[in-house]
Amino acid sequence: MKMTAGKPTQISISIDTEFSIAGHFEDPANNQPVAEPAVYGVVDGREEALGFMLDTFARYQTKASFFVECANYFFFGDEPMQGVIKRLQAAGQDIQLHIHPVWLSFNKDPAYGEFPRHDDCDGRSFEELKRVFSTCIDVFERWVGQRPLAIRTGSLRADDTVYRVMAELGIPLSSNIALGVYQPHEPSLRHDSGRHRIHGVMELPVFSYQDLNLAGRRHKKSLQITSCSWPEMRHLLWKARRAGVENVVILTHPFEYVKKSDFRYNKLTRNRVNQQRLQKLCEFIHGHPQDFVSADFSEQHEYWVSVEAEHPYIEMPSLYAIGRKLHNKLNDMVWSY
């Protein structure tokens, strides 16, 4: 399917908004989970993570979808994540549900029952997963004021049971697949992009593409701010546009916009490279309104659930991957780069 000239390609920036276990399970006496620094990323009194993102989205009139992790309630209580949600609501940004089940193992309330210390959503029984999802949906609804329209599983791990549970619970949209991050065991779930109805739930995978083809060995990559250079992203978006791709889902996290000295977030500085990538992406979308538009899950859900979309597989020149790897390595090695 080729896009018509009057229908822009939809770009969905999806943000997994979560706290960090931060070594607690390995050394609980000395390492407590970390909340605010992983989301706000304050450096010299300025928020270089969430605050930077919201400022950038406001400047370029970008709508994004924040997939907010809610199981952390069972360690932290309502705050601080409810405060994050209030910030997102005040900014007019979309809020959906992200689930890392391992946080449920902190539960001490017998009304909820016990949960194993296990973070994968795949590989669970239907009833166990339904209990996990129902519990997180209840927290989300109390914090946000409405049920989620979409769910993203932690570490993008999903299997057939995930979709059967979502259908049972009446969640119409998902974004659980990113083949450059994790390959589901079921071949029927291995989608690179587009929209695919699975047990009545419409899946929108994080956009995946071929970034390397060296000596006949092909490598698949998912589109993420922290790992894709801006020249690579720009080339990919134009190539997807010309190929008739209808929607592109991009993955990022607030903590990607800061660098940390250790897993405890003891010392932070801004991640200039990732910040520039997000700014250039938003500026690009804003500057090409005939060809691209930002799209969030709430605003588009009625259209997205109504029709599936098959997209062509996109291959990128290997030169972009080589340049990106060098740039990312330099950014990782040099604190002040």
pLDDT in tens, 62-84: 999 999 999 999 999 999 999 99
| pLDDT digit string, tens, across residues 186-214 | 999 999 999 999 999 999 999 999 987 66
For residue range 239-297, what is the model confidence (pLDDT) as tens digits?
999 999 999 999 999 999 999 999 999 999 999 999 999 999 999 999 999 999 999 99
Q: Does 198 reside within a domain?
A: yes
Distance from C-alpha of 327 to C-alpha of 164, rounded to nearest angstrom: 41
DSSP conformation letters of 219-252: EEEE-BTTTS-HHHHHHHHHHHHHHT--EEEEEE
Total number of domains in the chain:
1
Q: Residue 143 belongs to what domain range?
A: 9-210+219-314
Assigned domain for 29 exists = yes
User: What band does 4 get if pLDDT is binned at 50, 70 and 90?
Assistant: very low
Query: Residue type for 120, please?
Result: D
The torsion defined by the Cα of 106, 123, 223 and 147, in degrees rounded to 10, comes to -60
Is position 329 within any domain?
no
Question: Residue 334 falls within a domain, yes or no?
Answer: no
Element (H, E) at 14: strand 9-17
Average pLDDT score over the chain:
94
Sign of CA dihedral 178, 194, 189, 314: negative
Q: Does a structural domain hold residue 330?
A: no
Paired strand residues for 270: 258
Instruction: Answer yes or no: is 239 within a domain.
Output: yes
Whether 321 maps to a domain, the answer reads no
Q: What is the CATH number of the domain that holds 139?
A: 3.20.20.370
Helix, strand, coil percent content, the chain, rounded in steps of 5: 40, 20, 40
Q: Which residue from 57, 131, 60 is spatially nearest to 91, judged by alpha carbons?
A: 57
Q: Is residue 323 part of a domain?
A: no
First to last CA, the chain: 42
